[in-house]
């Protein structure tokens, strides 16, 4: 405490002395000379000014950098959002195309199945009609070969004798089968796999056999009358 009091007294004395000098000098008519700025003080002030300027510039640069960063982040975010939206649209389009293709294939398959069912129904109807009236089928198919009138008459007599126009006729003494009594019956498989149950297949095969072996139904009927078979 004593040292602090002495220090205050010294500073007070120094200030009083300085004031006396200034008063004396002024009273003497001579203006006080301004004190020369200390070089160190000048340098310090300059350094402080530069530092302050740098701080301001740095703050401004930092603010600009922050703004640019935020702008770039916003741009990047928007770009990412657009990219994601485009990817979602692309995937949605692909999925829609896949579903459409599956639907197209399903429709085609359904149409194919429906067409097969329609054809099967038509074949079944035709076969049923042939079972009910095989002579009409024989007459039509013989006419396609030019065998109408007398030739069909010979064919009718021949197959009436052989099987009575029954497509299930089975000779008990041989393996002859069907309307034309093919021997063996499986020969008619060359005309169709349904040879056992389809009169049309049997008639087609029988007409082809007569054409190949005898030329006409009347020739086949004449041979049958002579030897009791054809």
Residues 6+ apart with CB under 8 A from 204: 141, 191, 192
pLDDT band (50, 70, 90) for residue 5: very low
CA dihedral 197, 199, 205, 206 (to 10 degrees): 120
Q: How far apart are the first and last CA of the chain?
A: 158
Distance CA 23, CA 25 (A): 5
Residue 29 pLDDT: 47
Range name among 5-9, 44-48, 128-132, 218-222 with the lowest pLDDT average:
5-9
Tell me the mean pLDDT in the region 83-109: 95
Residue 9 pLDDT: 41
pTM over 0.75: no
Instruction: State yes or no: pLDDT of 81 exceeds 60.
Output: yes
Residue 35 pLDDT: 56
Instruction: State yes or no: pLDDT of 32 exceeds 50.
Output: yes
Q: For residue 185, which of 164, 205, 160, 158 has the smallest C-alpha distance?
A: 205
Tell me the mean pLDDT in the region 37-60: 64
Residue 64 pLDDT: 76
Q: For residue 130, which of 119, 120, 121, 138 has the smallest C-alpha distance?
A: 138
Distance CA 209, CA 176 (A): 14
Give the helix/strand (H/E) hosting 95.
Answer: helix 39-132
Range name among 21-25, 35-39, 178-182 with the lowest pLDDT average:
21-25
Distance CA 190, CA 194 (A): 10
Instruction: State yes or no: pLDDT of 215 exceeds 80.
Output: yes
Tell me the mean pLDDT in the region 139-158: 97
Instruction: State yes or no: pLDDT of 225 exceeds 50.
Output: yes
Range name among 26-35, 61-70, 107-116, 204-213 with the lowest pLDDT average:
26-35
Tell me the mean pLDDT in the region 112-129: 94
In the numeric block, the tokens 């990047």 are attached to: 76
Distance CA 185, CA 202 (A): 9
Residue 58 pLDDT: 65
Distance CA 132, CA 118 (A): 21
More confident of the two residues 159 and 73: 159
Please provide residue 123's backbone torsions phi and psi, each rounded to the nearest 5 degrees: -65, -40
Distance CA 28, CA 65 (A): 63
Q: How does the average pLDDT of the chain come out, rounded?
A: 83
DSSP state of 182: B
Residue 3 pLDDT: 45
Residue 48 pLDDT: 63
């Amino acid at each position: 405490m004593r040292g602090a009091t002495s220090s205050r007294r010294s500073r007070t004395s120094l200030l009083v002395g300085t004031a006396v000098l200034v008063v004396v000098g002024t009273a003497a008519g001579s203006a006080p000379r301004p004190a020369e700025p200390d070089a160190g003080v000048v340098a310090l002030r300059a350094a402080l000014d530069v530092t302050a300027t740098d701080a301001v510039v740095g703050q401004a640069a930092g603010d600009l950098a922050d703004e640019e960063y935020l702008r770039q982040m916003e741009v990047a975010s928007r770009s990412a959002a657009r990219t994601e939206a485009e990817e979602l649209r692309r995937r949605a389009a692909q999925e829609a195309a896949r579903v459409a293709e599956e639907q197209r294939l399903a429709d085609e398959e359904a149409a194919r199945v429906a067409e097969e069912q329609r054809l099967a129904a038509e074949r079944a109807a035709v076969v049923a009609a042939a079972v009910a009236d095989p002579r009409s089928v024989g007459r039509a198919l013989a006419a396609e070969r030019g065998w109408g009138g007398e030739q069909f008459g010979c064919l009718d007599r021949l197959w009436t004798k052989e099987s009575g126009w029954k497509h299930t006729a089975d000779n008990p003494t041989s393996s002859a089968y069907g309307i034309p009594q093919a021997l063996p019956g499986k020969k008619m498989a060359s005309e169709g796999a349904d040879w056992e149950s389809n009169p049309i297949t049997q008639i087609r095969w029988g007409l082809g056999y007569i054409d190949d072996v005898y030329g006409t139904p009347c020739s086949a009927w004449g041979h049958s009358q002579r030897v009791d078979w054809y």
